[in-house]
């Protein structure tokens, strides 16, 4: 599974939607759309700056969600990445009611896996994607397997988005092997994917990847983004 992350509403609504269609036309399997939040603690400087600019230009949750609704008839899988406070503030049931029929999952980096139950218990019908990291232990697998999501978001580096990592490190390979041996969910490698070589390695050792920072760098220039997307395939 090959995926791209874009910041919703960045740099403006029209350009964002043009970028979305570039991802679809390039043949990627899934699209991860970030709903901007004013305290993006898990994001590096590139994505954080894009998020703040999108907010300044009016990228409210409803606007970004409405743009996602327009993708209903596209085959690409759709995920939202945002922070827990965005969902809480919008309303857990309200968010789910609006988006459940349109999303394959939500990715919430500041929501521990064990806390996703609070969402489900309050009427949230969208799969919450579990995280795994280099610190994930075998004892954590049961919690991961309880998720309704078909994927695991594997953070292959320590740090914020945009950080570099070694996709051939023995530590990383052993952790992915542990996940694949103990769950039937697809292991998607996020963070640290920049080039086609990175993408090929990620597909070899896991079940997929998502490119974020390098895509967001090019969101202001859709033609440049499209060329970059083609270089990854």
For the chain, domains (ranges, CATH) are: 2-232 (3.20.20.70)
- Please state the pTM of the whole predicted model: 0.93
167 — pLDDT class (breaks 50, 70, 90): confident
pLDDT of 164? 53
pLDDT of 169? 84
32 is catalytic: yes
- What count of residues does the chain have? 233
Residue 160 scores a pLDDT above 60? no
Whether 156 contacts 166, CB under 8 Å: no
- 52-63 CB burial, b ≥16 within 10 A, e <16: bbbbebebebeb
Mean pLDDT computed over 171-190: 95
Residue 53 scores a pLDDT above 50? yes
Residue 157 scores a pLDDT above 80? no
Residue 39 scores a pLDDT above 80? yes
pLDDT of 165? 58
pLDDT of 90? 97
Q: Which of 29, 32, 62, 174 is catalytic?
A: 32
14 is catalytic: no
pLDDT of 54? 97
Mean pLDDT computed over 136-140: 94
Residue 149 scores a pLDDT above 70? yes
pLDDT of 2? 98
Residue-averaged pLDDT of the chain: 94
Residue 129 scores a pLDDT above 70? yes
pLDDT of 212? 96
* Structural tokens at position 89: 């503030």
The Cα 227–Cα 77 span in angstroms is 21
Closest CA to 150 of 75, 62, 77: 77
Mean pLDDT computed over 48-69: 97
Q: Which of 25, 29, 39, 43 is catalytic?
A: 43
pLDDT of 162? 44
Residue 143 scores a pLDDT above 70? yes
Long-range contacts of 173-178 (CB under 8 A, 24+ apart): 173/205, 175/132, 175/133, 175/134, 175/136, 176/205, 176/206, 178/136, 178/138, 178/141
The Cα 100–Cα 102 span in angstroms is 6
Looking at per-residue pLDDT, the higher value among 192 and 189 belongs to: 189
pLDDT of 40? 87
Residue 98 scores a pLDDT above 50? yes
């Amino acid at each position: 599974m090959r995926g791209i992350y874009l910041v919703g509403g960045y740099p403006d609504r029209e350009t964002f939607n043009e970028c979305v269609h570039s991802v679809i036309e390039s043949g990627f399997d899934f699209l991860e759309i970030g709903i901007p939040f004013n305290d993006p603690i898990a994001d590096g400087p590139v994505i954080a700056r894009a998020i703040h600019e999108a907010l300044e230009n009016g990228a409210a949750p409803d606007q970004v969600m409405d743009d996602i609704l327009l993708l209903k008839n596209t085959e690409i899988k759709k995920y939202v990445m945002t922070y827990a406070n965005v969902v809480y503030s919008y309303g857990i049931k309200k968010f789910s009611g609006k988006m459940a029929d349109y999303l394959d999952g939500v990715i919430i980096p500041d929501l521990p896996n064990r806390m996703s139950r609070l969402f489900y218990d309050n009427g949230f019908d969208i799969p919450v994607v579990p995280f795994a990291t280099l610190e994930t232990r075998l004892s954590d697998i049961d919690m991961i397997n309880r998720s309704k999501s078909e994927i695991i978001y594997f953070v292959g580096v320590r740090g914020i988005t945009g950080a570099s990592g070694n996709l051939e490190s023995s530590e990383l390979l052993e952790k992915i092997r542990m996940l694949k041996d103990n769950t039937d969910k697809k292991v998607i490698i996020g963070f640290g994917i920049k080039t086609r070589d990175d993408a090929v390695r990620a597909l070899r050792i896991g079940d997929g990847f998502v490119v974020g920072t390098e895509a967001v760098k090019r969101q202001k220039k859709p033609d440049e983004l499209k060329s970059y997307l083609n270089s990854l395939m």
